[in-house]
């Protein structure tokens, strides 16, 4: 991916390229066992609504009914697919997503204005807060969106092949706020 | 139009795909009258001007199939349920206006 | 404004010394029809033209009558101009809403060769033939003359401006915004509503189509809350602008009301500038989603229908006040005010204060009201109870002929006739979802009927025309909307305001007018045309509209519809409600297509998906092709190759003799897990998959419930309850949707988890006799990929340079072949590694073209055969279909029509003359038959030049095809003029025994 975001005063865009991700889903009847395994293994309460929770060295993003995306830094060769397959054996189906999706971070006072040009959901602080998740689209490109802080900072996980088109839309939408320095 | 996805909240129409009638249920392939039943199930539809139960797919969202009860004359939506729950409840739906 | 000079040069004869909301310290230059004029920031093109004494702004659509400026807003039917030049030239812009900027170039429309001496105005003399229904009557016969004579004539005579032929250099965008309370219209009502709602801390969006907020609070002279009304506007505006939860969208028209309390609005971000700033769009299309909506869109003044009421110099009374009060322009020096209501009469005061002479106040009511009498007494204006029967003057108004109620007629010299026929509440948005307006006899106007959910209407739009009621209504509606959206009410007192009267007695048309009396000025429809429509039986309002074209111009008849309806009611002796009502469809005002497209134009029309090897392929000089959203390499030309056919043939030959590599990552990939995965797949696929061994792959086909083939691909089994399937590139999304449907709705009792993994894996086909040798250099040596260890249809998890990877022994080409998959981020590295490792074997990359040639050579089906009309049997897969299990399409696939042996079935073809070229789409006709639809026996689905055979080959669907091998039939292509004799052969043109795939 080539990232050449326009120089703006109020917006920072970057790609998080060092993540390991895996999606997982409970096997029927093992929902409670799954919750317990996540509690025991990572100290996190698995969200059953559109939310993102942090565990020890990992975050869990709700990705649909009975579907989660686990996200962690890929340091020391960490591979969440392998790790979760072991942790959740017999409890959940696990699929590697480390490469299927790229995560783009969009941060700064203009982030809401820029996202409003393609994301059709309400990102006002009263409607969407750090910890909230939305599966939606940005300019016709499917994303899982979450907010990480009140800067505000958002992260959008999108399928890798769309990265160039996404960047093109994002940077064109941000051009209005480009710095004239 | 906006549809309140039970999982994602209220979303704009362009996240959803309409995909047919939720009042018909797939017949048993082994029934002696399976052919007639499948023809009715696949092709025969009433066209009620009023409340109707429809299947929608939250394509740009959580990928849930939904049963939407909607007045097709006014677009007023009275309920949205996960299709899985409706299907598991197992009560065959009656055909509206049939 | 950077180039504006401060000298204030140029005389503006009608500009007042003081007053108005314009900035006289800056002077802007602009041209109209090539002549230079000056104006000030705050002007519209119309106000600046009037300030300069320009009154003639265009010619009418049908009769080419001179036309001027009727209004001061978006309802303007007449003053349509072309703005700007070159690629930014834009026709049909209302001069009354176009904001003036320095360097603006405007031109009148419908004038040839010049505005003042319009040769086409001869139409007026021919007007007996240009009556309503003219198009239908005159141009019905003879039809042959239409193209040659009538259409060019009409186009020449009746054009409405010229669009630029160049592509628009500006950008447009779309955005979504949400609010607790959306207030549409920022006149006194809307401002009061927004203020009341905002004080509850509700999230408020206030939109107004003008650059300046205030509506009639800046157009009229009044007091609100002890301040001049325009000062009150500033106070409220400052309060709203300070509130971070309030978004004020100026220059923004809410043009449509849609289901779910969603509104479309267009913001003219840069229309008031010569060109948009860097990165700034020209316009922005808003989708506004609101919990509650307050419609405060005000009302539009109605013209009066009398003789020559279209002459430049006849102007709506409210517009006259606006030009005086907002723009500091007095549009006439000797004025007749003609009204049927008290409010119109107050124009006398504004004119007098601006230094104009009001020569008469003509009130059509039998008795002047006390209000009007008092006005006459205080100003000393001559009050005539009567009507203006006609405007005098050829190009512009030079006088008025007035008939008093007693019958006396008088002609008065004047240069302006200010008219007021009452007010039409702007209720268009209440009707977009089907609401029917209701007639109000007291106001002589339609008021909103049943409202869209979550909308309330306040102020003039609700029939509260006078200021006091507007403000009270706005505050009440704003407070209620905020409360409804979940906020605690905050009491807001209603400010005191100037007392007003809205008394009216209808006057729909002046009897015995002197001259043509226009109802719809933009489409040139007169009161007589309505009479004609009635005589010819077009009495229903919808018939009237279509017969006369009334209300069908770009202004949607905003100043015309109610007058027309009332005249029809009068003629037919029915009441107005009996006659009908007027409803509107979106958009309320015209919306540029560019705004509707937004970002999605040219290359951004839809997103583009790039496969993992994209960058490498681009470096190689690959030629790309769009397949769905994907951009895939089509072929890889090398220096010296003359054309694509030579390149593709070289790629095919390399695969068949050595080894080639193709990026197949675009195929849909779905990971399916769960205890019931095997059962689930058995119900999705037509062939049995339960028996598939772990570590093996199998070809599979899936049907629609109606028995038609939906998609095909491979199913690989990685574990007892773990499958990995591929779909065609085109159907990847559809297959996942179908699987979710089956899992959630048809068989929710099955425990299965479905995850799309298309993008996780970069996957390359490595095909050809040397493929294993190549892979042995790449796959980590701990993995046995010998034919014994990794036979045809074997699959396995491997590593490549320590990276987890997957290997599938599958073949689409018919050669020994593998598909190797690595996590997508390594896709670029892997293609480079494979090409490097393959150099010693003479490897080449191949694209979709060679892929297509090789699958045709092998008789494999693809998109052209999976075309939504074919059954498994049609394409030679009938033997795969299980007869025992339930699966989607099982029952209906047995319908007699789908198992008819006469159905066209898949077969191969080669030209009898081996040098002939085949065409896909050609239809098969028996050799001795005539090429008619009755003799049609099927068609060619796919063709290719086969380098392995040295001639063109094809696949096609031929009636009873497999029984007819050896027969010669005609392949007829009338579209491209081809008629070729072809021989029916096996669809497998290469290695029919299938030995090569096994090595």
**Chain A residue nearest residue C179, CA to CA:** A122
Sign of CA dihedral C149, C154, C157, C160: negative
Closest CA of chain C from A49, distance in Å:
18
Contact (Cβ atoms closer than 8 angstroms) between residue C551 and residue C530: no
Closest CA of chain A from C739, distance in Å:
15
The pLDDT of A148-159, averaged and rounded, is 97
Task: Find all residues with CB under 8 Å of B47, minimum gap 6, and list them.
Answer: none
Q: Is the pLDDT of residue C794 over 90?
A: yes
Cβ-Cβ contacts under 8 Å, A140 against chain C? 600, 606-607
**A76 shares its domain with A140:** no
Matching CATH topology for C1-123 and C892-998? no
Task: Find all residues with CB under 8 Å of C155, minimum gap 6, and list them.
Answer: none
CA C134 to chain centre: 32
CATH number at residue B35: 3.30.2270.10
**A89 shares its domain with A132:** no
- Expressed as residue numbers, the domain containing A149 is 12-16+100-176
Rounded to 5 degrees, φ, ψ at C279 are: 75, -5
Last residue of a domain, one of A96, A114, A149: A96
Cβ-Cβ contacts under 8 Å, C892 against chain B? 35, 38-39, 42
Closest CA of chain C from B51, distance in Å:
16
- Is B82–A121 a contact, with Cβ atoms under 8 angstroms apart? no
Comparing CB atoms, the residue among B2, B39, B43 nearest residue C260 is B2
Taking alpha carbons only, the member of C723, C733, C740, C712 closest to residue C689 is C723
Q: For residue C547, what is the enclosing H or E element? A: helix C541-548
**A116 shares its domain with A61:** no
CB pairs under 8 A between A and B: 33
Rounded to 5 degrees, φ, ψ at C18 are: -140, 170
Instruction: State how far the Cα of C921 lies from the Cα of C942, in Å rounded to an integer.
Output: 8
Q: Is C18 left (phi over 0), alpha (psi -120 to 50) or beta?
A: beta
Kindly provide the b/e burial profile for residues C385-423, where b requires at least 16 CB atoms within 10 angstroms of the residue's own CB: bbbbbbbbbeebbbbbbbbeeeeeeeebebbbbbbbbbb
C722: preceding bond cis by omega (within 30 degrees): no
Q: Please indicate, yes or no, if residue A117 is contained in any of the structural domains.
A: yes
Comparing CB atoms, the residue among B9, B15, B64 nearest residue A65 is B64
Taking alpha carbons only, the member of C416, C236, C226, C426 closest to residue C335 is C416
Chain C neighbors (3+ CB pairs < 8 Å): A, B
Closest CA of chain B from C292, distance in Å:
15
Q: Is the pLDDT of residue C822 over 70?
A: yes
Q: Can you give the C-alpha Rg of chain A in angstroms?
A: 17
Burial class (CB in 10 A: 0-12, 13-18, 19+), A77: exposed
What is the architecture of the domain spanning C892-998? Beta Barrel (2.40)
- For chain A, the residue count is 181
Q: Which two tokens stand for residue C857?
A: 């050579």
| Torsion angle (degrees, nearest 10) of CA C222, C223, C227, C233 | -60
For tokens 């104009």, the residue is C356
SS3 call for C91: strand
Residue to test with chain A: of C755, C761, C824, most A Cβ within 10 A: C755
Comparing CB atoms, the residue among B1, B39, B65 nearest residue C740 is B65
Chain B neighbors (3+ CB pairs < 8 Å): A, C
Q: What does the pLDDT look like over A84-133, one tens digit per residue?
A: 999 999 999 999 999 999 999 999 999 999 999 999 999 999 999 999 99
Instruction: State how far the Cα of C61 lies from the Cα of C134, in Å rounded to an integer.
Output: 13
Q: Which two tokens stand for residue C272?
A: 């008031």
Residue C976: how many other CB atoms lie within 10 Å? 8
CA C821 to chain centre: 42
Q: What is the pLDDT of residue C811?
A: 95
Q: Is the pLDDT of residue C633 over 50?
A: yes
Q: Is C932 left (phi over 0), alpha (psi -120 to 50) or beta?
A: beta
Last residue of a domain, one of A40, A68, A96: A96
Quickly state the pLDDT bin for B96 (edges 50, 70, 90).
very low
The pLDDT of C347-359, averaged and rounded, is 97
Quickly state the pLDDT bin for C2 (edges 50, 70, 90).
very low
Closest CA of chain B from A162, distance in Å:
15
Q: What percent of chain C has pLDDT over 90?
A: 86
Task: Find all residues with CB under 8 Å of C302, minimum gap 6, and list them.
Answer: C420, C421, C422, C423, C424, C559, C562, C563
Q: What does the pLDDT look like over C169-196, one tens digit per residue?
A: 999 999 999 999 999 999 999 999 999 9
- Is C886–B1 a contact, with Cβ atoms under 8 angstroms apart? no
Q: Please indicate, yes or no, if residue A4 is contained in any of the structural domains.
A: no
Cβ-Cβ contacts under 8 Å, A163 against chain C? 610
Comparing CB atoms, the residue among C176, C705, C736 nearest residue B42 is C705
Cβ-Cβ contacts under 8 Å, B34 against chain C? 891
Comparing CB atoms, the residue among B9, B14, B82 nearest residue A65 is B82
Q: Tell the CATH topology of C614-666+764-854.
A: Gyrase A; domain 2 (3.30.1360)
Q: Please indicate, yes or no, if residue A169 is contained in any of the structural domains.
A: yes
- Is C453–B55 a contact, with Cβ atoms under 8 angstroms apart? no
Q: Tell the CATH topology of C172-299+425-484.
A: FAD/NAD(P)-binding domain (3.50.50)
Q: What does the pLDDT look like over C307-351, one tens digit per residue?
A: 999 999 999 999 999 999 999 999 999 999 999 999 999 999 999
Q: Tell the CATH topology of C303-421.
A: FAD/NAD(P)-binding domain (3.50.50)
Q: What is the pLDDT of residue A177?
A: 87
Cβ-Cβ contacts under 8 Å, C176 against chain B? 12
Quickly state the pLDDT bin for C129 (edges 50, 70, 90).
low
- Is C737–B17 a contact, with Cβ atoms under 8 angstroms apart? yes
Q: What is the pLDDT of residue A125?
A: 97
Instruction: State how far the Cα of C757 lies from the Cα of A93, in Å rounded to an integer.
Output: 13
Closest CA of chain B from A62, distance in Å:
10
Considering the four listed CATH numbers 3.90.650.10, 1.10.10.1100, 3.40.47.10, 3.40.50.150, the one that applies to the domain covering C516-587 is 1.10.10.1100
Closest CA of chain C from A42, distance in Å:
23
Q: What does the pLDDT look like over A6-63, one tens digit per residue?
A: 555 678 899 998 999 999 999 999 999 999 999 999 999 999 999 999 999 999 999 9
Q: Which range, of B9-23, C59-73, C171-185, averages the lowest pLDDT?
A: C59-73
Taking alpha carbons only, the member of C503, C556, C595 closest to residue C282 is C595
Strand order of the β-sheet with C795-800 is C795-800, C803-808, C817-823, C761-767, C660-663, C844-845
Q: Which two tokens stand for residue C766?
A: 């490595």
Instruction: State how far the Cα of C693 lies from the Cα of C678, in Å rounded to an integer.
Output: 11
Q: What is the pLDDT of residue A33?
A: 97
- Is C755–A119 a contact, with Cβ atoms under 8 angstroms apart? no
Q: What does the pLDDT look like over C481-503, one tens digit per residue?
A: 999 999 999 999 999 999 999 99
Q: Which alpha helices (DSSP H) does chain A contain, by range?
A: 31-42, 80-87, 111-115, 163-174
- Is A136–B64 a contact, with Cβ atoms under 8 angstroms apart? no
Burial class (CB in 10 A: 0-12, 13-18, 19+), C934: exposed
- Is A142–B12 a contact, with Cβ atoms under 8 angstroms apart? no
**Chain C residue nearest residue B41, CA to CA:** C705
Q: Is the pLDDT of residue C142 over 90?
A: no
Closest CA of chain B from A120, distance in Å:
7
ipTM of the complex: 0.96
The single-letter DSSP state of residue C78 is S
Q: What is the pLDDT of residue C133?
A: 59
β-pairing verdict for A52-55 and B9-12: unpaired
Q: Please indicate, yes or no, if residue B97 is contained in any of the structural domains.
A: no
CATH code of C668-756, in short, is: 3.30.70.1400
Q: Please indicate, yes or no, if residue B95 is contained in any of the structural domains.
A: no
Cβ-Cβ contacts under 8 Å, B8 against chain A? 50, 134-136
**B81 contact A CB<8A:** no
The pLDDT of C922-945, averaged and rounded, is 96
SS3 call for C860: coil
Chain A neighbors (3+ CB pairs < 8 Å): B, C
Residue to test with chain B: of C670, C710, C748, most B Cβ within 10 A: C748
Residue to test with chain C: of B20, B24, B65, most C Cβ within 10 A: B65
Q: What does the pLDDT look like over C407-457, one tens digit per residue?
A: 899 999 999 999 999 999 999 999 999 999 999 999 999 999 999 999 999
Q: What is the pLDDT of residue C441?
A: 95
Comparing CB atoms, the residue among C176, C744, C891 nearest residue B38 is C891
Q: What is the pLDDT of residue C554?
A: 81
Q: Which residues pair with C246 in a beta bridge?
A: C204
Helix axis angle for C467-484 and C188-198, nearest 10°, is: 30
SS3 call for C517: strand
Residue to test with chain C: of B53, B84, B88, most C Cβ within 10 A: B84
**A143 shares its domain with A87:** no
**A169 shares its domain with A109:** yes
Q: What is the pLDDT of residue C109?
A: 81
Domain count for chain A:
2
Map C938-994 to HEC letters: EEEEEEEEECCCCEEEEEEEEECHHHHCCCEEEEEECCCCEEEEEEEECCCCCCCCC
The pLDDT of C538-567, averaged and rounded, is 89
β-pairing verdict for C104-108 and C28-32: parallel
Cβ-Cβ contacts under 8 Å, B84 against chain A? 65
Q: What angle do CA C891, C894, C900 make, to 5 degrees?
A: 165
Q: Please indicate, yes or no, if residue B98 is contained in any of the structural domains.
A: no
Comparing CB atoms, the residue among B14, B15, B63 nearest residue A64 is B63
**B12 contact A CB<8A:** yes
- Is B64–A121 a contact, with Cβ atoms under 8 angstroms apart? no
Q: Is the pLDDT of residue A5 over 80?
A: no
Q: For residue A136, what is the enclosing H or E element? A: strand A133-138
Q: Which residues pair with C794 in a beta bridge?
A: C696
Comparing CB atoms, the residue among A27, A66, A96 nearest residue C675 is A27
Contact (Cβ atoms closer than 8 angstroms) between residue C818 and residue C807: yes
Contact (Cβ atoms closer than 8 angstroms) between residue C464 and residue C470: yes
Taking alpha carbons only, the member of C749, C742, A28 closest to residue B89 is C749
Q: What is the pLDDT of residue C541?
A: 86
**A117 shares its domain with A62:** no
**Chain B residue nearest residue A137, CA to CA:** B60
Cβ-Cβ contacts under 8 Å, B54 against chain C? none
The pLDDT of B8-23, averaged and rounded, is 96
Q: For residue C831, what is the enclosing H or E element? A: helix C827-838
Closest CA of chain C from A40, distance in Å:
23
Q: What is the pLDDT of residue A181?
A: 39
Contact (Cβ atoms closer than 8 angstroms) between residue C800 and residue C778: yes
Q: Please indicate, yes or no, if residue B84 is contained in any of the structural domains.
A: yes
Q: Which range, of C511-520, C578-587, C619-628, C707-716, averages the lowest pLDDT?
A: C578-587
Comparing CB atoms, the residue among B60, B63, B82 nearest residue A137 is B60
Q: Please indicate, yes or no, if residue A84 is contained in any of the structural domains.
A: yes
- Expressed as residue numbers, the domain containing B79 is 2-89
**A66 contact B CB<8A:** no
Q: What is the pLDDT of residue C156?
A: 52
Cβ-Cβ contacts under 8 Å, C757 against chain A? 95-97, 100
Cβ-Cβ contacts under 8 Å, A178 against chain C? 278-279
Cβ-Cβ contacts under 8 Å, B81 against chain A? none
Domain count for chain B:
1
Residues 116-155 of A with CB under 8 A from B: 120-121, 134-137, 142
Q: Domain residues of chain C, as ranges?
A: 1-123, 172-299+425-484, 303-421, 516-587, 614-666+764-854, 668-756, 892-998
Rounded to 5 degrees, φ, ψ at C191 are: -65, -45
For tokens 């040769």, the residue is C119
């Amino acid at each position: 991916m080539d990232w050449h975001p326009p120089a703006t005063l109020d917006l920072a865009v970057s790609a998080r390229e060092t993540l390991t991700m895996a999606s997982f889903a409970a096997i029927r009847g093992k929902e409670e066992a799954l919750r317990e395994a996540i509690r025991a293994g990572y100290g996190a309460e698995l969200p059953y609504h559109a939310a993102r929770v942090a565990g020890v060295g990992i975050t869990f993003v709700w990705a649909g009914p009975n579907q989660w995306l686990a996200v962690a830094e890929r340091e020391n060769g960490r591979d969440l697919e392998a790790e979760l397959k072991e942790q959740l054996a017999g409890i959940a189906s696990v699929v590697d997503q480390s490469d299927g999706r790229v995560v783009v971070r969009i941060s700064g006072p203009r982030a809401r204005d820029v996202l409003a040009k393609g994301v059709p959901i309400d990102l006002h602080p009263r409607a969407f807060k750090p910890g909230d998740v939305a599966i939606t689209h940005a300019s016709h490109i499917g994303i899982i969106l979450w907010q990480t802080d009140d800067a505000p900072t958002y992260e959008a996980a999108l399928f890798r092949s769309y990265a160039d088109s996404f960047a093109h839309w994002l940077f064109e939408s941000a051009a209005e706020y480009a710095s004239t320095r | 139009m906006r549809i309140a996805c039970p999982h994602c909240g209220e979303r704009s129409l362009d996240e959803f795909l309409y995909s047919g009638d939720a009042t018909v249920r797939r017949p048993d392939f082994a029934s002696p009258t399976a052919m007639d039943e499948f023809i009715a199930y696949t092709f025969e539809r009433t066209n009620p001007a009023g409340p109707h139960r429809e299947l929608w797919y939250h394509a740009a969202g959580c990928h849930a199939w939904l049963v939407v009860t909607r007045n097709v004359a006014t677009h007023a939506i009275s309920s949205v349920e996960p299709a899985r729950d409706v299907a598991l409840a197992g009560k065959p739906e009656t055909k509206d206006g049939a | 404004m950077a180039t504006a000079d401060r000298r204030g040069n140029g005389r503006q004869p009608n500009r007042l010394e003081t007053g108005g909301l314009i900035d006289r310290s800056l002077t802007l230059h602009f041209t109209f029809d090539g002549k230079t004029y000056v104006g000030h920031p705050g002007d519209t093109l119309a106000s600046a033209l009037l300030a300069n004494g320009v009154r003639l702004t265009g010619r009418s659509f049908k009769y080419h009558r001179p036309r001027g400026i009727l209004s001061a807003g978006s309802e303007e039917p007449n003053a349509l101009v072309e703005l700007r030049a070159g690629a930014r030239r834009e026709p049909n812009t209302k001069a009354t809403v176009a904001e003036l900027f320095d360097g603006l170039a405007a031109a009148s429309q419908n004038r040839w060769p010049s505005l003042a001496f319009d040769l086409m105005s001869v139409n007026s003399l021919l007007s007996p033939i240009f009556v309503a229904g003219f198009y239908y009557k005159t141009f019905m016969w003879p039809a042959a003359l239409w193209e040659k004579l009538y259409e060019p004539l009409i186009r020449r005579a009746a054009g409405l401006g010229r669009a630029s032929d160049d592509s628009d250099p500006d950008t447009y965008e779309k955005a979504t915004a949400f609010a607790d309370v959306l207030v549409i219209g920022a006149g006194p009502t809307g401002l009061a509503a927004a203020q009341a709602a905002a004080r509850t801390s509700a999230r408020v969006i206030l939109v107004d189509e003008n650059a300046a907020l205030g509506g009639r609070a800046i157009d009229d002279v009044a007091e609100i809350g002890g301040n001049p009304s325009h000062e009150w506007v500033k106070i409220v505006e400052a309060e709203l602008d300070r509130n971070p939860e309030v978004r004020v969208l100026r220059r923004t028209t809410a043009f449509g009301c849609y289901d779910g309390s969603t509104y479309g609005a267009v913001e003219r971000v840069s229309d008031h500038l010569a060109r948009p700033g860097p990165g700034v769009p020209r316009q922005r299309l808003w989708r506004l989603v609101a919990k509650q909506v307050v419609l405060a869109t005000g009302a539009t003044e109605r013209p009066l229908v009398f003789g020559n009421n279209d002459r430049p110099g006849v102007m709506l009374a409210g517009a006259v006040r606006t030009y005086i009060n907002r723009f500091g322009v007095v549009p006439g020096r000797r004025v007749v005010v003609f009204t049927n209501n008290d409010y119109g009469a107050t124009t006398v005061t504004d004119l007098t204060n601006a230094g104009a002479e009001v020569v008469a106040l003509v009130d059509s009511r039998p008795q002047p009201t006390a209000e009007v009498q008092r006005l006459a007494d205080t100003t000393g204006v001559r009050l005539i109870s009567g009507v203006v029967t006609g405007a005098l003057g050829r190009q512009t108004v030079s006088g008025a002929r007035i008939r008093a109620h007693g019958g006396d007629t008088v002609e008065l010299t004047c240069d302006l006739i200010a008219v007021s026929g009452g007010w039409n509440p702007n209720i268009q948005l209440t009707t977009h979802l089907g609401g029917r307006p209701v007639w109000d006899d007291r106001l002589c106007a339609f008021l909103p009927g049943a409202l869209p959910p979550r909308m309330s209407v306040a102020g003039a739009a609700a029939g509260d025309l006078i200021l006091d009621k507007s403000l009270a209504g706005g505050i009440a509606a704003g407070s209620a909307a905020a409360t409804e959206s979940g906020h605690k009410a905050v009491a807001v007192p209603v400010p005191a305001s100037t007392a007003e009267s809205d008394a009216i007695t209808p006057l729909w048309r002046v009897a015995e007018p002197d001259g043509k009396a226009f109802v719809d000025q933009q489409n040139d429809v007169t009161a007589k045309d309505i009479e004609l429509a009635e005589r010819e039986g077009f009495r229903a309002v919808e018939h009237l509209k279509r017969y006369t074209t009334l209300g069908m111009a770009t202004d949607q008849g905003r100043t015309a519809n109610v007058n027309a309806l009332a005249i029809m009611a009068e003629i037919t002796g029915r009441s107005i409600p009996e006659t009908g009502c007027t409803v509107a469809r979106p958009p309320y005002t015209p919306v540029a297509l560019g705004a509707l497209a937004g970002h999605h134009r040219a290359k951004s029309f839809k997103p583009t998906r790039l496969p993992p090897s994209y960058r490498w392929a681009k470096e190689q000089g690959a030629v790309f092709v769009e397949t769905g959203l994907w951009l895939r390499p089509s072929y890889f030309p090398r220096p010296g190759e003359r054309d694509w056919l030579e390149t593709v043939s070289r790629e095919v030959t390399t695969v068949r003799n050595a080894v080639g590599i193709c990026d197949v990552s675009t195929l849909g990939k779905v990971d399916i897990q769960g205890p019931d995965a095997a059962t689930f797949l058995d119900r999705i696929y037509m062939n049995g998959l339960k028996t598939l061994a772990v570590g093996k792959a199998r070809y599979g086909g899936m049907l629609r419930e109606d028995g038609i083939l939906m998609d095909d691909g491979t199913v690989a089994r990685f574990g007892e309850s773990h499958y990995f399937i591929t779909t065609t590139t085109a159907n990847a999304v559809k297959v996942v949707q179908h699987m979710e449907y089956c899992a959630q709705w048809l068989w929710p009792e099955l425990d299965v988890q479905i995850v799309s993994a298309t993008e996780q894996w970069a996957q390359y086909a490595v095909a050809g006799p040397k493929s294993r040798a190549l892979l042995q250099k790449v796959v980590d040596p701990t993995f046995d990929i010998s034919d014994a260890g990794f036979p045809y249809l074997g699959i396995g998890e491997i590593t490549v340079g320590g990276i987890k990877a997957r290997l599938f022994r599958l073949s689409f080409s018919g050669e020994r072949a593998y598909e190797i998959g690595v996590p997508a981020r390594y896709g670029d590295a892997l293609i480079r590694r494979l090409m490097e490792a393959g150099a010693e074997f003479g490897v080449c990359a191949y694209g979709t073209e060679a892929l297509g040639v090789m699958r045709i050579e092998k008789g494999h089906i693809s998109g052209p055969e999976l075309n939504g009309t074919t059954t498994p049997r049609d394409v030679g897969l009938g033997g795969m279909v299980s007869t025992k299990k339930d699966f989607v399409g099982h029952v209906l696939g047995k319908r007699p029509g789908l198992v008819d042996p006469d159905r066209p079935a898949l077969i191969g073809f080669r030209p009898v003359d081996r040098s002939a070229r085949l065409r896909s789409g050609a239809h098969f006709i028996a050799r001795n038959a005539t090429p008619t639809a009755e003799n049609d026996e099927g068609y060619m689905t796919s063709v290719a030049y086969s380098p392995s055979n040295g001639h063109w080959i094809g696949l096609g669907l031929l009636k009873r095809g497999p029984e007819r091998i050896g027969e010669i039939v005609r392949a007829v292509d009338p579209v491209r003029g081809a008629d070729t004799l072809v021989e029916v052969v096996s669809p497998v043109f290469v290695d029919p025994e299938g030995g090569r795939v096994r090595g």
